């Protein structure tokens, strides 16, 4: 969106510096014509801001290759073999759909809990199988992504990574967290977005209604609602969350693609049953 004149050139330079991989780079201007785009990258300009997940869909549809690397424009790769390492891991395991590297703040080295794609997130350096993803920095197998239907573009922002991960698992794939591969990203607060609480709640309802067996939908939403009533501080955040929750219940979640009970069991065995 041309709002990161320092971070974006650094992100692009770190991509172009990757070694031992063939890159096809597309920059999506979400409601703008991208600026500061270096030679070696192509652009797609959208007339309006269609949201982050749909912007990623547009970019994915414009590139060629066996693997898709989704990369926030305020992140950067501190070493030149990061992408090659991720590609090698995906190539070695045909049952693997996606890999998330460890995201760390470049100044403090801190990895936020929300960047660790599992429940027991106290140790961000522990690798393993994961059932969700931090979607801003992730590599996905192209065939798996296409078969899953891509990102849920209508979500606009928040929870699109869980939606995609669940649908990848429902195809029989798994995901992996590789903390040895580090990507730098500033430790920002998602609540800085004015619509955070409303969209976060709405999309959580949509996520459950799109993907879960009917019997699990009330369990999932009740667990989320109770946790947020306990965590939230301030009436404005609570009101916005309840507004979004009701909005999600009214509809708009899109095509329903219920995961199988076999997938539910696989997710539970992997450490994260889809009610949490």
pLDDT in tens, 105-151: 999 999 999 999 988 888 999 999 999 999 999 999 999 999 999 99
CATH class for domain 7-188? alpha beta
Q: For 21-40, write each residue's pLDDT tens digit.
A: 999 999 999 999 999 999 99
pLDDT at 99 over 90: yes
Domain edges within the chain = 7-188, 191-260
Q: What is the mean pLDDT of the chain?
A: 95
pTM as predicted: 0.95
CB within 8 Å of 100: residues ≥ 6 apart: 117, 130, 133, 134, 137, 138, 139, 175, 176, 177, 178
Q: What is the pLDDT of residues 167-183, one digit of tens each?
A: 999 999 999 999 999 99
HEC string for the chain? CCCCCCHHHHHHHHHHCCCCCCCCEEEEECCCCCCCCCCCEEEEECCCCCCHHHHHHHHHHHCCCCEEEEECCCCECCCCCHHHHHHHHHHHCCCEEEEEEEEECCCCCCCCHHHCCCCCCCCCCCCEEECCCCCCEEEEEHHHHHHHCCCCHHHCCCCHHHHHHHHHHHCCCEEEEEEEEEEECCCCCHHHCCCHHHHHHHHHHHHHHHHCCHHHHHHHHHHHHHHHHHHCCCHHHHHHHHHHHHHHHCCCCCCCCCCCHHHHHHHHHCCCCCCC
Residues 231-255: tens digit of each pLDDT: 777 888 889 999 999 999 999 999 9
- With b meaning 16 or more CB within 10 Å and e meaning fewer, what string describes 211-242? bbeeebbeebbeebbeebeeebeeeebeebbb
């Amino acid at each position: 969106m041309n709002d990161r004149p320092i971070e974006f050139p650094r992100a692009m330079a770190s991509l172009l510096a990757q070694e031992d991989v063939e890159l096809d780079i597309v920059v999506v201007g979400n409601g703008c014509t991208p600026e500061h785009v270096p030679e070696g990258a192509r652009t797609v300009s959208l007339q309006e801001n269609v949201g982050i997940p749909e912007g990623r869909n547009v970019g994915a549809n414009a590139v060629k290759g066996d693997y898709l690397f989704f990369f926030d424009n305020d992140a950067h790769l501190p070493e030149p073999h990061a992408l090659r390492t991720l590609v090698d891991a995906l190539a070695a395991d045909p049952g693997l759909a996606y890999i998330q590297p460890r995201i760390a703040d470049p100044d403090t080295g801190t990895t936020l809990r929300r960047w660790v794609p599992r429940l027991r997130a106290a140790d961000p350096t522990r690798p393993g199988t994961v059932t969700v993803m931090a979607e801003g920095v992730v590599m996905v197998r192209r065939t798996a992504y296409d078969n899953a239907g891509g990102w849920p573009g209508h979500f606009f922002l928040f929870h699109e990574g869980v939606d995609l991960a669940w649908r990848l698992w429902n195809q029989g794939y798994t995901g992996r967290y590789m903390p040895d591969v580090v990507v730098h990203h500033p430790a920002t607060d998602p609540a800085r977005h004015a619509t955070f609480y409303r969209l976060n709640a709405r999309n959580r309802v949509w996520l459950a209604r799109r993907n879960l067996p009917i019997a699990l939908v009330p369990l999932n939403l009740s667990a989320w609602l109770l946790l947020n009533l306990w965590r939230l501080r301030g009436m404005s955040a609570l009101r916005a969350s309840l507004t979004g929750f009701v909005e999600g219940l009214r509809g708009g979640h899109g095509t329903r693609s219920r995961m199988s009970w076999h997938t539910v069991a696989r997710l539970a065995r992997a450490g994260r049953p889809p009610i949490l």
